[in-house]
Structure 1
Amino acid sequence: MKHVKALTGKGVMTAALLFLVLGIANGVSVWSVLVLTIIIGAISYPLGDLVLLPRVKSLIAAAIDAGLVFAIILIAGAVISFSGPVLLAAITAAVLMGTAEYMFHFYLGTHVLFSSNRVKTDM
């Protein structure tokens, strides 16, 4: 159940940030934002948050998550029509998601992965 809560929180956070950056600022449809949210969550939660985070520091894991978001949005830019520059949208989304992921890692370290006691939430 703790993973369901964490994944739901991550999904809401990702959808909100992508909707602000892609939906409002770049005219991407809500459907496309939701599909990107699912893709990012399906890749970053099991690999980044459950496998990588307990092994490296939170800042490094957040930077890798930001890089993943950047790459996914750049790839999606070839398929989805943006009203603004795709590179700027990808950079903005990556920076915001990296910051949000860094804070999300503190939640994971205290509520989800605390039993392993290996989560490095310091810088």
Structure 2
Amino acid sequence: MQHIKALAIKTVASLVLIYVILGIGFNYSFGNILALTFLLGVISYILGDLLLLPRTSNLTATISDFALAMLLTWFFLSNITANTNNVFMASLLTAIGVALFESFFHRYMRANVLRVEESTQKVNNLRYHTEASEELAPDKRRLERDND
């Protein structure tokens, strides 16, 4: 149930964000925005939020979400429009907006949806111990005796 709630939050927030950027800013149709929202939402939820986020940090998952949003938006927009002049700028602004939203959404995911183990969450908490023997130098008499 938590995954459905998280996916609904992500879908609604992404739809509003992408509509403001692409619909109002670049005059794309609502149908194209809705299709891009569902495509981006499902792929980034599975790859970024469920697979990558529990194993890495928020920053790494946000950077990968930026790259995924940039590439997916660029590919989607370049295939639906004949005018390719503003596709890069539209993709870049959409990816920046998605990455900003995802940085906050990852905090929500860690706190409420994912059950991240303590060992994977705090990597810098390793405790290394040194081992020392009683002898600091080899006993030469004992070595000579063993060689004879």
TM-score by length of 2: 0.75
Whether the 8 Å contact between 1:77 and 1:86 is mirrored in structure 2 is: yes
Highest relative contact order (Cα 8 Å, sep 6+), 1 or 2?
A: 1
Partner of 1:106: 107
Bigger mean CA offset, 38-47 vs 80-89:
80-89
Cα shift readout 1:18-62 (whole Å, capped 9, x = no counterpart): 101111111111010010011111211011100100111101101
d(CA) in 2 for partners of 1:79, 1:91: 16
Shift of 1:73: 1.2
SS in 1 for 2:109: helix
Which runs of no fewer than 5 residues in structure 1 stay unpaired? none
- The more displaced of 104-113 and 74-83 is 74-83
What do the CA deviations read for 1:82-110 (whole angstroms, capped 9, x no partner)? 69611111111111110110000000010
Unaligned runs of 5+ in 2: 123-148
Partner of 1:93: 94
Between Structure 1 and Structure 2, how many residues are aligned? Answer: 120
Identity %: 34
1:11-50 to structure 2, matched below 5 A, reads 11-50=11-50
Partners of 1:28 and 1:83 within 8 A in 2: no
Partner of 2:79: helix, strand, or coil? coil
User: What root-mean-square deviation, in Å, do the aligned CA atoms of Structure 1 and Structure 2 show?
Assistant: 1.9
* 1:77 aligned counterpart, secondary structure: helix
Separation in structure 2 between the aligned mates of residue 44 and residue 74 of structure 1, nearest angstrom: 15
Report runs of 4+ in structure 1 exceeding 6 Å deviation: none
Over alpha carbons, which structure has the higher Rg?
2
Structure 1 length normalisation: TM-score?
0.90
Cα pair 1:18 1:33 within 8 Å, conserved: yes
CA distance, structure 2, for counterparts of residue 38 and residue 26 of structure 1: 19
